[in-house]
Amino acid sequence: MRHTSTAILTVLALTLLTTCDKVPMNGPLDGMWQLMSVETPDGLRPTRDDELFLSFQLHLTQWEKKHTSRTYFAHFERRGDSLRIYDITRAAFHDLSHGDDDHLITDAQMSAGEMDAWGIHTTTPSFHINRLDRSNLTLQAADTTLTFRKY
């Protein structure tokens, strides 16, 4: 009887400990993704060597270009298979002596190619999530397809 009670209590304690784990708010979308390719009507552009990354956490995204240390932040909203990015901000270097500050990206900056590396040309891009699992993410926006791998 004593062994049975100990076994039941052990199983109950383990169950409670494992059920208290936090589940990512955005499911498999949360985490860091490496952009592998950008496909447009002009063709397929591999981007693996460009070291372009996209991270999702809570309601924020971070877009980072490792070679130049260029970083952007944005809010996002996901509804089913739709993903909308908004309030894209270029991170400053925070040299307070020069008054650096983060700046919202303007339509003019986007038109000038501010985020061309990621295949983004508007300040509020919307995507259809074609594929999302633990290791792959494919986003479709009009005539552009972005393919990512979990990093």
Residue 122: what pLDDT?
93
Residue 94: what pLDDT?
56
Q: What domains appear along the chain, each with residue ranges and CATH number?
A: 25-150 (2.40.128.280)
Is the whole model's pTM more than 0.85, yes or no? no
Rounded CA separation 90/122 (Å): 14
The string of pLDDT tens digits covering residues 2-14 is: 656 655 655 555 5
The string of pLDDT tens digits covering residues 78-134 is: 999 999 999 999 887 655 555 556 789 999 999 999 999 999 999 999 999 999 999
Rounded CA separation 28/23 (Å): 10
Rounded CA separation 150/30 (Å): 10
Tell me the sheet residues that pair with 76.
85
In eight-state DSSP terms, residue 25 is T
Instruction: For 138, list phi and psi in degrees, rounded to 5.
Output: -125, 120
Rounded CA separation 64/118 (Å): 10
